[in-house]
Amino acid sequence: MKMIARTCSLLLVALSMSVTGIAMAQPPGDERPRVSPPQGRLIGERSDRDQRVAVYKGIPYAAPPVGQRRWQPPQAPASWSGEREADSFGPNCMQQSYPEGSFFYRPARLSSEDCLYLNVWSKASADERKPVMVWIHGGALTRGSGAISTYDGTELAAKGAVVVTLNYRLGVFGYFAHPELVAESPNFSAGNYGILDQIAALQWVQDNIAAFGGDPDNVTIFGESAGAWSVNFLTASPLAQGLFHKVIAQSGARLDTRVELDRQTSAGPSAISAGQELASVIGAADLAELRAMPAEQLLNASQSAGFRTDGIVDGWVIPDQLYSLFSRGQQHPVPVMLGFNSDEGTTLGAAANLPANEAEYQARMRAVYGELAELVMDVYPADNIRRSVLDSFRDTTFGWNMVTWANLTRHVNQPAYLYFFTHHPPGATESGLGAYHASEIAYTFNNAHTLRGDTSAFDYRLADIMSDYWVSFARTGKPVSPGQPAWQPYSNAARHYLQFDKEVSAGQNLLPDNWAVLDRVMDRRRQSVSD
């Protein structure tokens, strides 16, 4: 009887561990947070900013993509026995740092091909079902990581979300195509390995996030710049079906014409031809030589050769041009929240090498826009060259994509919420940067303390407001912030948007003349693809 009782007791303990997700057998005095997802038990740490929030860093969501796994879809990670320390971020994926002194410079972190790790912030217990917010970092698909301090998920977790950040393959490691890769692929595809990594991370969320108190049936993907491009690609990819339920895209989409795997478009040469050219420049005779090349050497060689990184219309991960897919209602039918900033180009070099005078400005515009140049210059006139250059860069690169995405969401009968961020962060007015690219991120994460310069009480207040909208949308699909304006969905009939500035205000019909002329420009570019 004693043996039976002891066995029953052990079974109850094991059952308790599986239900709560907490590793019960922790050493006396060790109060570090523990979880037991299916992958294996983890020991995390408490957030420095809020001790109620547990943080688990450097969790592998895929096997290291090294050796023969370079330029292969991600494979399942290994599990482990015992407890794994999860108190430090994994390495960045292979990348070159921003030059010291550049606006986006950060001290270098270790970079490695072995980089497919993610991080989780949670205040929830395993028997809860909190909304999950999966952040996909930006950086032109060539830089960045989930470890950047602005992306710390503590404050969003404190507001009731479970936050995940992740690394994914970048640059030549994430977006390289080659005929031999197509030949060895059962899907006759190549490239998009970074997007496949993101899909693998979302599958990890489905399999494991319940142990952290997250709801796998209520996942929001969100990202900025190239992270928003990724969100846009995922919304179009059949491989991501069922892995998320809402999307937030900040200053980035790929509804303009994109690179295709095996044919030239207005976006440039085919991805295969670009890969062949890179191999030729490097002097690699075949794929085997490329896979054998040390990672650092390959990274430097691709940078020197000007290898262009982008998502690829490959017929598998991305079946068609995104504008075509979205126009046919073939994107995933999920609510979207998206927008852009008023001064996107000030930190992206858009105002470098300005035309010297009106005549030179007009000549450049005619070279770019041809017979549509006069219409474009009606909206972006030559009487203020700097302002027109910055506005046209903002609208062609960001604004048109975001507004068009909001518009095309009608084809799947889902709401779209559009914002326009115009608030100047600390020091941005004096430096002429305005609401620069990526400046809204600190506000959406409620991490105003990471802003450059002297953060004001209003900055903290705006961050609290915006993060409320973001978490509310993740929770319910409707963005709400207590005491703030109601955010109405965007539609063709009523083109609602919310503006974030010294006060939050609701408006309608944002910059209609700009989108009318750019619709014609983008339509012309799409015609050149079909021709």
Q: What is the pLDDT of residue 46?
A: 98
pTM equals 0.93
How far is the C-alpha of 319 from the C-alpha of 309, rounded, in Å?
A: 18
* Residue in this structure with the two tokens 């450059």, named with its chain if needed: 452
Q: Which amino acid is at 400?
A: W
Q: Lowest-confidence range among 13-17, 51-55, 271-275?
A: 13-17
**Considering only 7-16, 71-80, 116-125, 318-327, which range has the smallest mean pLDDT?**
7-16
- Assess whether pLDDT exceeds 70 at residue 18: no
102: Cβ–Cβ under 8 A, 6 or more apart, which residues?
A: none
Mean pLDDT over each residue of the chain, to the nearest integer: 93
Residue 1 has pLDDT above 70, yes or no: no
* pLDDT at 530 (0 to 100): 57
**Best CA proximity match to 127, nearest among 211, 39, 207:** 211
Strands 214-224 and 246-250: parallel
* Per-residue pLDDT at 529: 61
Average pLDDT over residues 43-49: 97
The pLDDT, as a whole number, for residue 25 is 53
- pLDDT at 141 > cutoff 80: yes
Predicted pLDDT at 146 = 97
**Structural domains in the chain?**
43-334 (3.40.50.1820), 344-531 (3.40.50.1820)
Report the share of the chain in percent with pLDDT over 70. 94
Is residue 4 predicted with pLDDT exceeding 70? no
Closest CA to 444 of 415, 471, 480: 471
Q: Which two tokens stand for residue 127?
A: 């028997």
| Cα-based distances in Å from 74 to 116, 196, 307 | 9, 7, 22
Categorize the per-residue pLDDT at 104 as very low, low, confident or very high, splitting at 50, 70 and 90.
confident
Q: What are phi and psi of 35, to 5 degrees?
A: -135, 160
The residue behind tokens 């090349």 is 293
Residue 453 CA, distance from chain mean position: 25
pLDDT tens digits, residue range 183-226? 999 999 999 999 999 999 999 999 999 999 999 999 999 999 99
First to last CA, the chain: 83
- Does pLDDT of 367 surpass 90? yes
What is the tens place of the pLDDT at every residue in 335-365?
A: 999 999 999 999 999 999 999 999 999 999 9
| Active site members | 225, 344, 437
User: Which pair of structure tokens corresponds to residue 229?
Assistant: 């491009």
Question: Contact at 8 Å (CB) between 209 and 162?
Answer: yes
Question: Cα dist. 443→91, 450, 470, 509 in Å?
Answer: 26, 10, 10, 24
Asked if 71 contacts 190 with a C-beta cutoff of 8 angstroms, the reply is yes
Closest CA to 220 of 304, 123, 136, 107: 136
